[in-house]
Amino acid sequence: MQLTKSRDHHVARLNRLIQVALLSGLVLSMALMLIGSLLYFLGNQGAPAIAFGTLFADLAAGNPLAFMVSGIVVLMITPALRVLVAALGYLLEGDWRYALVSLGVVVVLAVSVLIGAV
Protein backbone atom coordinates (compact mmCIF):
# COMPACT_ATOMS: atom_id res chain seq x y z
CA MET A 1 0.00 0.00 0.00
CA GLN A 2 2.82 2.34 0.96
CA LEU A 3 4.48 1.59 -2.36
CA THR A 4 1.43 2.43 -4.51
CA LYS A 5 0.86 5.63 -2.54
CA SER A 6 4.36 6.86 -3.27
CA ARG A 7 4.06 5.80 -6.91
CA ASP A 8 0.78 7.69 -7.25
CA HIS A 9 2.41 10.74 -5.73
CA HIS A 10 5.25 10.58 -8.24
CA VAL A 11 2.83 10.13 -11.13
CA ALA A 12 0.78 13.14 -10.02
CA ARG A 13 3.90 15.32 -9.74
CA LEU A 14 5.16 14.15 -13.12
CA ASN A 15 1.76 14.89 -14.67
CA ARG A 16 1.78 18.43 -13.33
CA LEU A 17 5.27 19.02 -14.70
CA ILE A 18 4.22 17.70 -18.11
CA GLN A 19 1.11 19.87 -18.09
CA VAL A 20 3.15 23.01 -17.46
CA ALA A 21 5.61 22.06 -20.22
CA LEU A 22 2.80 21.49 -22.73
CA LEU A 23 0.91 24.66 -21.86
CA SER A 24 3.98 26.90 -22.05
CA GLY A 25 5.02 25.38 -25.37
CA LEU A 26 1.58 25.80 -26.92
CA VAL A 27 1.05 29.36 -25.66
CA LEU A 28 4.53 30.48 -26.74
CA SER A 29 4.15 28.90 -30.18
CA MET A 30 0.69 30.36 -30.79
CA ALA A 31 1.89 33.79 -29.61
CA LEU A 32 4.85 33.70 -32.02
CA MET A 33 2.59 32.60 -34.91
CA LEU A 34 0.05 35.35 -34.15
CA ILE A 35 2.76 38.02 -33.90
CA GLY A 36 4.18 36.84 -37.21
CA SER A 37 0.74 36.97 -38.82
CA LEU A 38 0.07 40.45 -37.44
CA LEU A 39 3.43 41.73 -38.69
CA TYR A 40 2.62 40.21 -42.06
CA PHE A 41 -0.69 42.05 -42.30
CA LEU A 42 0.82 45.28 -41.00
CA GLY A 43 2.67 45.52 -44.26
CA ASN A 44 5.96 43.67 -43.96
CA GLN A 45 4.86 41.24 -46.67
CA GLY A 46 7.90 41.36 -48.89
CA ALA A 47 10.21 39.97 -46.22
CA PRO A 48 12.79 37.55 -47.61
CA ALA A 49 12.81 33.87 -46.76
CA ILE A 50 14.74 33.19 -43.58
CA ALA A 51 17.51 30.79 -42.62
CA PHE A 52 18.14 29.26 -39.22
CA GLY A 53 21.56 30.90 -38.97
CA THR A 54 20.06 34.38 -38.97
CA LEU A 55 16.84 33.54 -37.13
CA PHE A 56 17.53 35.77 -34.11
CA ALA A 57 18.64 38.68 -36.28
CA ASP A 58 15.49 38.26 -38.37
CA LEU A 59 13.34 38.19 -35.22
CA ALA A 60 14.97 41.41 -34.03
CA ALA A 61 14.34 42.94 -37.45
CA GLY A 62 10.63 42.11 -37.13
CA ASN A 63 10.56 39.68 -40.06
CA PRO A 64 7.07 38.08 -40.01
CA LEU A 65 8.35 34.80 -41.44
CA ALA A 66 10.97 34.58 -38.67
CA PHE A 67 8.20 34.75 -36.06
CA MET A 68 6.10 32.19 -37.92
CA VAL A 69 9.01 29.78 -38.27
CA SER A 70 9.92 30.20 -34.58
CA GLY A 71 6.32 29.39 -33.67
CA ILE A 72 6.44 26.24 -35.80
CA VAL A 73 9.78 25.19 -34.27
CA VAL A 74 8.54 25.74 -30.70
CA LEU A 75 5.45 23.68 -31.54
CA MET A 76 7.57 20.86 -32.99
CA ILE A 77 9.77 20.82 -29.88
CA THR A 78 6.88 20.74 -27.37
CA PRO A 79 5.81 17.06 -27.62
CA ALA A 80 9.48 16.02 -27.76
CA LEU A 81 9.99 18.00 -24.55
CA ARG A 82 7.13 16.09 -23.01
CA VAL A 83 8.83 12.79 -23.79
CA LEU A 84 12.09 14.10 -22.32
CA VAL A 85 10.35 15.27 -19.12
CA ALA A 86 8.70 11.85 -18.81
CA ALA A 87 12.07 10.14 -19.30
CA LEU A 88 13.65 12.32 -16.58
CA GLY A 89 10.71 11.64 -14.28
CA TYR A 90 11.08 7.87 -14.69
CA LEU A 91 14.84 8.17 -14.10
CA LEU A 92 14.26 10.09 -10.86
CA GLU A 93 11.71 7.50 -9.79
CA GLY A 94 14.25 4.76 -10.45
CA ASP A 95 11.87 3.22 -12.97
CA TRP A 96 14.65 2.11 -15.32
CA ARG A 97 12.41 0.20 -17.70
CA TYR A 98 10.22 3.15 -18.67
CA ALA A 99 13.12 5.59 -18.52
CA LEU A 100 14.72 3.40 -21.20
CA VAL A 101 11.50 3.19 -23.23
CA SER A 102 11.13 7.01 -23.13
CA LEU A 103 14.78 7.50 -24.06
CA GLY A 104 14.23 5.07 -26.95
CA VAL A 105 11.49 7.36 -28.26
CA VAL A 106 13.84 10.35 -27.84
CA VAL A 107 16.44 8.47 -29.91
CA VAL A 108 13.90 7.82 -32.71
CA LEU A 109 12.97 11.54 -32.71
CA ALA A 110 16.67 12.48 -32.80
CA VAL A 111 17.18 10.11 -35.74
CA SER A 112 14.29 11.78 -37.58
CA VAL A 113 15.98 15.18 -37.09
CA LEU A 114 19.23 13.70 -38.43
CA ILE A 115 17.44 12.15 -41.43
CA GLY A 116 15.95 15.57 -42.12
CA ALA A 117 19.35 17.23 -41.87
CA VAL A 118 20.94 14.89 -44.43
**Site residues (CB under 8 A) for another protein?**
11-12, 14-15, 18-19, 22-23, 25-26, 29-30, 33-34, 36-37, 40-41, 65, 68-69, 71-72, 75-76, 78-80, 82-83, 86, 95, 97-98, 101-102, 104-105, 108-109, 111-113, 115-117
The number of helix segments (H) and strand segments (E) in the chain equals 4, 0
CB of residue 105 to another protein, shortest distance in Å: 5
Q: What is the DSSP letter of 86?
A: H
Nearer to another protein, 37 or 54 (CB): 37
Nearer to another protein, 60 or 107 (CB): 107
Mention every residue, 6+ apart, whose C-beta is less than 8 A from residue 7: 93
Nearer to another protein, 43 or 97 (CB): 97
Cα 80 to Cα 26, 77, 88, 95, 107: the distances in Å are 13, 5, 12, 20, 10
Separation CA 14–CA 110 (nearest Å): 23
Nearer to another protein, 11 or 57 (CB): 11
